[in-house]
Chains A and B, each alone.
Chain A
Amino acid sequence: MQRFEERPLLKVENLTKQYGPGCGECSQPGRPGLIKNYCPSCGTVYACSDVSLDVYPGEILGIVGESGSGKSTLMQCLYFDQDVTSGTLTIDDPELAGENLFDVSSQRKRYIRNHKYGMVYQNPVKGLRMDFSSISNIAEKQIAAGGRHVGQMQSAGERLLDVVSIPLFRMKEEPRNFSGGMQQRVQIAKALSNDPPILFLDEVTTGLDLSVQAAVIDLIKQIQRDLGISMIVVSHDLAVIRMLADRTLVMLNGRVIESGLTDQILEDPNHAYTQQLVYSLL
């Protein structure tokens, strides 16, 4: 698969997110002396270090790595839940062209979230209001994007609930009454409700029964096929990434240690850590 002609829809360069002040030791290029992502002399955690990635139109980019490797932090930085320490983000969109979107005002970031992004959080509590009905949860994103017509938002919400196979007679129930798999489906419906060109999915299948997992994975594939949305899918589970992602990044201790076509990584892993991951899958 050649992608030289195509321009990435979303481009991240040298994203770094640190928790803590940093010191002389850990600010050196390459950050020697860290224990995993942690600087023992000043206590700073480098949750993401110099992460660069491209997402092409319509593709699913997978990110895999062990617990604590910085996957959720990366997603939350891209979704502007967290401020980055440094780095650039550009999106190939006439409205946003040429700007480092990490540097724009919080109002503009909100605009991007409401109009360009969808997000499914690892923990549904972060993505849903458990004390509002499911249909209102879906409408929230449309309201944020300027929706002021109840009838239109309700029918759009109903259509999306149908897409994610939540029976309509349950739409007025609060998601706290729902199973984990249903909550993830409501999150997906909500994330899709503003027709975003970019969708972030953080561990959508983690903690679900295998059969429910398979159904959610089918749903994601179907969304990619039908709507052509570009996605970043994060999982610590290589099996999930293998089913979904065209290309994959492997993260370890906040860094990208390997990247390429998913099939290639699976067949011929370079990095010792990736080899370990792949062999444990077999």
Chain B
Amino acid sequence: MKAEPQFAFLDEGSKKEIRRATLKAVAIPGYQVPFASREMPMARGWGTGGLQLTCSLVGKDDVLKVIDQGADESVNAVSIKKLIRATTGIPVTERTEEASLIQSRHRIPEVPLTKDQILVLQVPMPEPLRKYEKKESVTKRLHAESEYSGAWLMLFEQIMKYGRTTTGADHPVLVNGRYVMAPSPIPRFDNPKMDHSEALILLGAGREKKIYAVPPYTEIRSLAFEDHPFEGEDFSGKSCRFCGATGVFLDELYIQETGMTEHQCNDTSHCADRLGRQEEKEVQHATI
């Protein structure tokens, strides 16, 4: 007799343990909860922390979206979707609104998330103080004592050396006025989306064996000095060359034929969605 394949890959015991860690993470916003990271059918560092969260959460009624740096069709996103689909049979989608569970690497979707959705972010390095202090035993104590001089010092050093903070991504945030947290390598542009997010945000680091969380409606403040306010990437005056979107995170690209730089939505499904709706409108106009 052949054993039934395990629903969502992990055995129920492992899923329960991951969910217990997740509950603790939700109860202590921004606090890194250790968990026994499992072997997954992909290399650690390729989103196994996020994948384990997804596997522990996914149910038969879920609809899954997976994005990798804004793209639903990257190899990594596709292989995660394949694994979940093969082991659960649930539908996957590219439309943010349709998904109940969204696993993402390095972006928060442009469409505002709702209270009926959970966002799972993949985290390579969960410890925001690691560059300042190598020893885990010490960083644990620093968190316990709310001693975040190290995080501030790293920003100060950037300002001294480059005139401004140069964290392109993973700019540290203060969660609920208590824990300093690495938001995962999302662009600074996405940090404000975490503040009072309606959706639960879970962050998983497979290699570093940590889970942490931003529960819905939690205050998230990006660290910034009084005389150097926090700023996201600035795209003012720029728009998507396909859908014309402004106020979204844009990728810059160099067009060889024209020798010009142009911009396009980094969130590909958002862009496709807007284009689709524009076409619909045109079709409607044409038929009237």
Residues of A bordering B, CB below 8 Å: 106-107, 110, 129, 132-133, 135-136, 139-140, 143-144, 148-151, 153-154, 172
Task: Name A153's contact: one of B145, B156, B161 (CB within 8 Å).
Answer: B156
Stretch at the interface among B15-23, B67-75, B195-203, B225-233: B225-233
- Whether B227 contacts A132 by the Cβ 8 Å rule is no
**28 A–B contact pairs at CB < 8 A?**
A106-B145, A107-B145, A107-B147, A110-B145, A110-B147, A129-B153, A132-B153, A132-B157, A133-B157, A133-B160, A136-B156, A136-B157, A136-B160, A140-B149, A143-B149, A143-B152, A143-B153, A143-B156, A144-B147, A144-B149, A148-B152, A149-B225, A150-B156, A150-B228, A151-B227, A153-B156, A154-B160, A172-B161
Q: Which residue of B lies closest to A139 (CB)?
A: B156
Residues of B bordering A, CB below 8 Å: 141, 145, 147, 149, 152-153, 156-157, 159-161, 225-228
How many cross-chain pairs have Cβ atoms below 8 Å apart between A and B? 44
Chain B residues whose CB sits within 8 angstroms of the CB of A148 once the complex forms: 152, 225-226
State in angstroms the CA–CA spacing of A84 and B156 once bound together. 34
- Whether A150 contacts B145 by the Cβ 8 Å rule is no
Specify the main secondary structure of chain B where it touches its partner. helix
B177 to chain A, nearest CB (A): 15
Q: Which residue of B lies closest to A105 (CB)?
A: B145
Chain A residues whose CB sits within 8 angstroms of the CB of B145 once the complex forms: 106-107, 110
State in angstroms the CA–CA spacing of A172 and B156 once bound together. 12
Q: Which residue of B lies closest to A149 (CB)?
A: B226
- Whether A150 contacts B159 by the Cβ 8 Å rule is yes
Chain B residues whose CB sits within 8 angstroms of the CB of A139 once the complex forms: 153, 156
Specify the main secondary structure of chain A where it touches its partner. helix
B48 to chain A, nearest CB (A): 31
Q: Which residue of B lies closest to A153 (CB)?
A: B156
Task: Name A133's contact: one of B141, B152, B161, B228 (CB within 8 Å).
Answer: B161
State in angstroms the CA–CA spacing of A172 and B159 once bound together. 11
Q: Which residue of A lies closest to B151 (CB)?
A: A143
B231 to chain A, nearest CB (A): 14
For the complex of A and B, the 7 pairs showing the least CB-CB separation, nearest first, are A144-B149, A136-B157, A149-B226, A150-B225, A143-B152, A143-B149, A107-B145
A12 to chain B, nearest CB (A): 25
Q: Which residue of B lies closest to A171 (CB)?
A: B160
Q: Which residue of A lies closest to B131 (CB)?
A: A131
Chain B residues whose CB sits within 8 angstroms of the CB of A133 once the complex forms: 157, 160-161
